[in-house]
Chains A and B, each alone.
Chain A
Amino acid sequence: MVYIDPHIHMVSRTTDDYETLARMGCVAVSEPAFWAGYDRGSVHGFRDYFEQLTTFESQRAAQYHIQHYTWLCINAKEAENVELSREVIAMIPEFLDRPGVLGIGEIGLNKNTRNEVTVFLEHLDLAARTGEQILIHTPHLQDKYQGTRMILDMLKGDQRLQRHRVLVDHVEEHSIAAVLNAGFWAGMTLYPVSKCTPERAVDMVEMYGPERLMVNSAGDWGPSKPTAVPDFVMEMRHRGHAESLIQRIVYDNPLEFFRQSRQFDFTPPDGM
């Protein structure tokens, strides 16, 4: 089955991973900007990173017939440096008209601090002013429930935002209902230890249905599995779910969401 991984950090992965993804049926990926594992020292570091995301990475993916898209921001982990964050937010518009840029992301909260909130709100303002879609990171482990609810409060408080153009990612059992019920898209991240297993993700599909729901690997430089989406497909099949339902989650839904971005130009594979 062909599929799209709507959240994966390919700059941290090897070219062998691209080949494996292609062999598994992956036809497109979207790569949000994220934390490099260390705090970058200046806005120039981000400009170079955005250059990599919008030029080299899409070329590397294309060698394996994978279409590469990206999202731009300064990650919540670096938001404690508000001055640097503001410099990055001011620089982002330089890249918004580049091919494959889908919007602002992955913005969000990490430890739910005042500075993170400030930088999140300023990203939201940028997205609202420029008409960009938004991809949101929700916090890890003990901070997720609190942080997700805070994020939803801020999103709902900005009347300029269209909820069907916002994806709230990394939802789990205690956060998915609030996201979907408010009219946002929800992403389930398949990780080996934290976040969701493929089995629990399928449980949530069974409980909440396929509308505005996607799955992703969020593969990065840490413990993660870039081929996690095919694991989800296998679990759906094991449980006897229809191929049309599986396709909706792993292909149709990401396309429906991405198509709302003005820089989304997609060539479907033969037969799709």
Chain B
Amino acid sequence: MSAGRTQQQVMQREYLPVRAKILEIAAALDRIDRASAKSVTESKTSESESSREQLQQALGVLLQSESGRAERVQKIFSLPYDQKWQQAFGLSGQ
């Protein structure tokens, strides 16, 4: 269901907004690099590194050719789901 639009039409509409968003990301990463690496605590440093890794993983997804990129990016930023969570919570009958 895409209302009959061609890839060319969609690209024409999306090109400038996507270009702008990529520039925003590039500038934000530069901003992070320019800031002082000095951190208040070790845990904050670790948290910051973990955030950077997540961002890099997500950026990698954008370069993949298969569709479903938005869903894959969402999962990078998500806690995992454990099918046996009810047992861990001690819920009976599950």
> Which residues of A approach B to under 8 Å, CB–CB?
112, 114, 117, 141-146, 149-150, 153, 157, 172-174, 200, 203, 205-207, 209, 238-242
Asked if A206 and B1 sit within 8 Å, CB to CB, the answer is yes
B86 partner residues in chain A, CB cutoff 8 A: 153
Chain B: CB-nearest residue to A176: B71
A157-B94, A174-B74, A240-B5 are known contacts. Are A146 and B80 too (CB-CB below 8 A)? yes
Q: Which 10 A-B pairs have the closest CB atoms?
A: A174-B74, A145-B78, A240-B3, A173-B71, A149-B81, A173-B70, A146-B79, A146-B81, A206-B1, A241-B3
Contact A200 B77 (CB under 8 A): no
Contact B2 A142 (CB under 8 A): no
Contact status of A145 and B75, CB under 8 A, knowing A117-B91, A150-B85: yes
Distance A241 CA – B2 CA, assembled complex (angstroms):
8
Across the interface, name the chain A residue whose C-beta is closest to B14: A199
Q: Compute how far the CA of A145 lies from the CA of B80 in the bound complex, rounded to whole angstroms.
A: 7
Pick the residue among A144, A174, A206 that contacts B71 (CB under 8 A). Answer: A174
Name the residue on B nearest A175 (C-beta): B74
Q: Which residue of A lies closest to B4 (CB)?
A: A240
CB-defined A-B contacts under 8 Å, sample of 23: A141-B77, A142-B78, A144-B78, A145-B75, A145-B78, A145-B81, A146-B78, A146-B79, A146-B82, A150-B85, A153-B85, A153-B86, A153-B94, A173-B71, A203-B70, A205-B1, A206-B1, A206-B2, A206-B3, A239-B3, A239-B5, A240-B4, A240-B5
A interface: dominant SS = helix
Tell me whether B1 and A173 are in contact (CB under 8 A).
no
Chain B residues within an 8 Å CB radius of A203: 70
Q: Which residues of A sit under 8 angstroms from B94, Cβ to Cβ?
A: 153, 157
B residues with a Cβ closer than 8 A to A are 1-5, 13, 70-71, 74-75, 77-82, 85-86, 89, 91, 94
Total A-B residue pairs with C-beta atoms closer than 8 Å? 53
Assembled-state Cα–Cα distance A239/B79 (Å): 34
Shortest distance between the CB of B2 and any CB in chain A (Å):
6
Given that A153-B86, A173-B70, A173-B74 are contacting pairs, would A142 and B79 also be in contact in the complex, using a CB cutoff of 8 Å? Answer: yes
CB-CB under 8 A from A149, the residues of chain B are 81
The minimal Cβ–Cβ distance linking A109 to chain B, given in whole angstroms, is 11
Q: Are A145 and B1 in contact (CB under 8 A)?
A: no
CB-CB nearest in chain B for A143? B79
**Nearest chain A CB to B94's CB is how many angstroms away?**
6
B20 to chain A, nearest CB (A): 13
Q: A54 CA to B77 CA in the complex, in Å?
A: 38
Which of A173, A206, A240 has most chain B Cβ within 10 Å?
A: A173
By a CB distance below 8 angstroms, the chain A residues around B78 are 142-146, 174
Distance (whole angstroms) from the CB of B14 to the closest CB of chain A? 9
Contacts of A172 in B (CB 8 A): 74
Complex CA–CA separation, A206 to B79 (angstroms): 27
Inter-chain contact B77/A142, CB cutoff 8 Å: yes
Chain B hits for A240, CB < 8 A: 3-5
Chain B residue numbers with a CB within 8 Å of A242 are 3
Question: Residue on B with the closest CB to A178?
Answer: B81
State in angstroms the CA–CA spacing of A146 and B85 once bound together: 10
* Chain A residues whose C-beta falls within 8 Å of the C-beta of B82 in the assembled complex: 146
